[in-house]
Structure 1
Amino acid sequence: MLWIGVFFINGIIGAYAWALLKMILPILGVFGVFINIFLFIFCMVKRKKNNKVLVNFILNLVLIFPILMTMNIIEFIYPIDIERAEPSVTIKWPLAEETIIGWGGDSIEDNLIHVTWPSERWAYDLVMNPYDIGSKNNEDYGIWDKEVYSPISGVVIAAYDGEKDIDPGSEDFTLLEGNHVYIKVDETGTYLLLNHLKKDSVTVKEGDRVNAGDVIGRIGNSGSTSEPHLHIHHQRQDPTKVLHPILAEGLPLYFEGINGEAMPKKGDIIIPDILKN
């Protein structure tokens, strides 16, 4: 039934079904395996038939199997076609300098860390040179402290910048998303999420109306992040009302006013119009 929800129903039902398949059932399967090993040993000692125990053991192994997808040992994209995911939005570029797509696009090759989860199915991680350099100092990364501009007109539904910036490569965070600004899009009523901003840098507050081009904060390294970058994605559900960040329906996100494709992919070098004029 969960697989039916994922493949044929999609939406928020698919998102919950995917989370259960990848995170909850494997835990139950592990418990089931240990219980059945104990029962198998008990049956052998008592010299009783153990066919049912063997069947249960195999079924619990099947429950554990999706953990291989959670760990990306088996790379499996969240199964929804971009044509079926609506509405999409087209937004302005949120940075005013040459940018590189760290992760982005519709394929597992270009966007592995995002496309395996429904909420971030078409998310982007944006960086600038130098990046992926292994330094433990945030200041060594090109995108650090760069201004972030609202990519679209809408209302700020959440703004937070109280999370400290962590050292690259560490895991000393409280919120997965770190410092952030969430915008309800005027055009569609959907939500745009911008994460990992710098502590004390956010210039907007909940309830503010923003227009495309307004400064909303600066790039930091807060939350669950390997190095300074801007994470941005588009989803249907209000992120302040979901039970967990992954329990949402991600939606396509395109850009205008840049060179190249409207949906750029990993490795693309983006030059916004502001630099071309």
Structure 2
Amino acid sequence: MIWFQAAIYTILPLFLFYHLLKTDFASRKQLILDWLAVLMFLAFIFIIGPWHIYNHYLRWLWPALFIIVSFFALKRIPKLPMKGPEKDKGYKFSIGIGIGLVLYFGFIAVNGLSGYILAERDQAIELTFPMENGVYAFGHGGADPSINYHNEYLPQQYAYDILQLNSWGMRASGLSPTNLEDYKIYGTPLYSPCSGEVVHAVDEYKDIAPQESPNEQGSPAGNHVILSCKGADVHLSHMKPGTVEVEEGEEVNTGDRLGKVGNTGNTTEPHLHIHAEKDGEGVPITFNDRFLKRNSLVFN
């Protein structure tokens, strides 16, 4: 599946650009509809796509190329007739497909964009980013399930799944490596994002191999630490075995070392899961006053 998705995100845009440039459109309507369909598809993959898997910087190449392609494709509009062969079934089918694609991809993209904004009632807590010395990408984040599946589970709504990028803009050496060490974030030190009390600390689970079925025995969080601070419980999950450095009841300060990122619990690859919970409900987290979304980057 991940290889199929890679083709969609990296090869299909090139085919669509070629389509806009080389197709003999029968009318202005057909060209504009196809142009809008490509625009909505690119918006869909730009907002919804998990670019840390493929190449995060490639994400910005497609909008740049689309602007260039649009310049040449739309130059043909004055040369095309206003109306096409309305009685031609192939033409009508093409128009129908164009409308369907615009609506489908546009709807999903708008839903994703809606997750970029917090409702006024949602008061975020400000934390210090818990990792140093790297570029970090958000695999899940935001206020809509289309960009953050955690929003479907009330205690973890607004949770973040964070990965680290290597020099190629990818979270690992390859699309789906089976070696934990190939994931850039594996073993990265974790630091306390706030000052408070350790209310729970677990270090008893083994790492699971990447891409295997999650091990949900015991705690889905795997090895983890829960801190009571700023009026909420802050959860940091999936830590590496034998690295948790704090104990229940211990007081910690912002920046104190907690452990390292691993792959324990309900996870398919190394990453940091962090969320804040208050009275059984997840509350938003900001870092440097930023509410982060899927594909957001933090440079530390």
Same topology, TM > 0.5 = yes
Query: CA contact under 8 A between 1:144 and 1:229: conserved in structure 2?
Result: yes
TM-score by length of 2: 0.56
Cα drift, residue 131 of structure 1: 2.3
Counterparts of 1:163 and 1:143 in 2: how far apart (Å)?
Answer: 18
* Residue equivalent to 2:220: 176
The reply on whether 1:232 has 2:269 as its aligned counterpart is no
Match of 1:120 in 2: 156
Deviation at 1:271, TM superposition (A): 1.0
Off by >2 Å, runs of 4+ in structure 1: 81-86, 107-110, 129-133
Code of the aligned partner of 1:220: G
1:132-147 pair list within 5 angstroms: 133-147=175-189
2:121 aligned residue (58, 62, 84):
84
2:131 maps to what in 1? Answer: 95
Structure 2: state its 5+ residue gaps: 1-110
Distance 1:114 1:108 in 2: 7
Q: Identity of aligned pairs, percent? A: 34
TM-score (norm 1): 0.60
Q: State whether residues 173 and 222 of structure 1, in contact with CA within 8 Å, keep that contact through their aligned partners in structure 2.
A: no
Give the one of 279, 284, 287 matched to 1:255.
287
Displacement, 1:191? 0.7
> SS of the residue aligned with 1:84?
coil
Match of 1:265 among 293, 296, 300: 293
Distance, in Å, in 2 between the alignment partners of 1:194 and 1:218 is: 10
CA displacement, residues 180-201 of structure 1 (integer Å, 9 cap, x when unaligned): 000000x32x110000000110
Is the CA contact 2:215–2:267 (under 8 Å) kept in the aligned structure 1? no
Residue correspondences, number:
179
- Partner Cα separation in structure 1 for residue 181 and residue 144 of structure 2: 31
Contact 1:102 1:124 in 2 (8 A): yes
Shift of 1:125: 0.3
**Which runs of 5 or more structure 1 residues have no equivalent in the other structure?**
1-74, 238-247, 273-277
Computed over aligned residues only, the root mean square deviation of the Cα atoms, in angstroms, reads 2.3
* Shift of residue 119, structure 1, vs aligned partner: 1.1
Indicate how the Cα distance of structure 1 residues 172 and 235 shifts in structure 2: closer, same or farther if over 3 A, else same: closer
Q: Which moved more, 1:215-224 or 1:171-180?
A: 171-180
More helix, by proportion: 2
Tell me which residue corresponds to 1:108: 145
Alignment partner, residue 208 of structure 1: 250
Aligned to 1:160: 202
Q: How many Å apart are 1:116 and its aligned residue? A: 1.2
